[in-house]
Amino acid sequence: MAEAESVIGTPDSAGADESAGPGTEVRPQGKRKLAALLVVAVLAYLIDLGSKMLVVAKLEGHEPIDLIGDLLRLSAIRNRGAAFGMGEAYTVIFTLIASVVITVIIRLSRKLYSLPWAIALGLLLGGALGNLTDRIFRSPGVFRGAVVDFIAPAHFAVFNLADSAIVCGGILIVLLSFRGLDPDGTIHKD
């Protein structure tokens, strides 16, 4: 039956790599997971955008709000740098890096057949788009805008939901890589 499917080229066997080396399990690819990637990216982007709009409207210029005593508070700041406020002079470079990351994710999505990878890349894409929107459209100007950060844990840097999406997507990618799962759905059994 499997031989007949490979000759006929059924949707589940289309694109499966018959020449995979030892230690690699070939999985049927079926439909691409582009829709899942896009849904996750749009949700992450919209939640980030909405939270930043709310923070700018209700929290900016006001006293921080304590959520869990001194352990967690909401405090609106503008960050022109990268993570942890580093590199404020390199806002344009961070904008270009985010643009490259978005382009790479879009290109990779054409070969995406793994739902966990779709979720991870969707989180990265949504987060990158959220912070890129700030860098393009917020003051002091195009490609020099400051990112709105507002989640302030004690003894840690202030961040936003886009940053959280990026970190969660990155952690998921590391875990998937350790498990040997590739974006195209193949599993390496090393």
pLDDT digits (tens, 9 = 90+) for 135-186: 899 988 887 789 999 999 999 989 999 999 999 999 999 999 999 999 988 8
Known active-site residue 163: yes
Is 17 assigned a catalytic role?
no
Q: What is the pTM of this model?
A: 0.79
Burial class (CB in 10 A: 0-12, 13-18, 19+), 2: exposed
Cis ω for the linkage preceding 140 (within 30 of 0): yes
pLDDT digits (tens, 9 = 90+) for 81-132: 776 566 666 777 878 888 899 999 999 888 899 999 999 999 999 999 999 9
pLDDT in tens, 58-70: 999 999 999 998 8
Catalytic residue among 48, 134, 149, 184: 149
